[in-house]
A = this chain, B = another copy of it.
């Protein structure tokens, strides 16, 4: 089969991109090593030269995705702050659910396939979630919200729900619902 990613990229990068696409679209356990190496245009030997095992590739996939999200969020919090930044981050989530290839939250989906909380994959997921919760809390505190901790937890609930519902229900409606719910949570009044 013809490789799906450009052959100019380094094999490791090709593998990681292919893994990211397939793992997200079809799940971790359903995508085998055969499929990965074929579509990445590499060989099995090259696979195991860069990753000790498939599970390490799964972890790398999630960490790379986390990195991308952090960059996107940092770009927002770098230019704005408080309430405006908060709404931009939520916009990001809402827009995500409406994307063509949207298949829910990569981290929640992966967690569903790894029951053991001590597993390296679950640890990577927990780290990403902790980072995101922290960002929300800081933004809420910066916006002068009276209870940033509680509000951040509610936002996480809404985010998790939106990312799950976005795949199972109508994404457009979910997006609207999320935006309205967050708007109500933050209050219609003025804030920093």
Contact = CB atoms under 8 A, between A and B. Distances in A.
Copies of this chain present in the complex amount to 2
B167 A113 contact: no
Question: Which secondary structure dominates where chain A touches chain B?
Answer: helix
A184 B147 CA distance: 14
Contacts of A109: 112
A105 to B, nearest CB: 8
A77 interface: no
Interface of A: 25-27, 29-30, 103-104, 108-109, 111-113, 115, 125-126, 129, 150, 153-154, 156-162, 164-165, 167-169, 173-174, 177-178, 180-181, 184-185
18 contacts: A27-B112, A104-B111, A104-B112, A108-B112, A108-B164, A112-B113, A126-B168, A129-B168, A150-B180, A157-B157, A157-B158, A157-B165, A157-B178, A157-B181, A160-B164, A161-B161, A164-B164, A184-B185
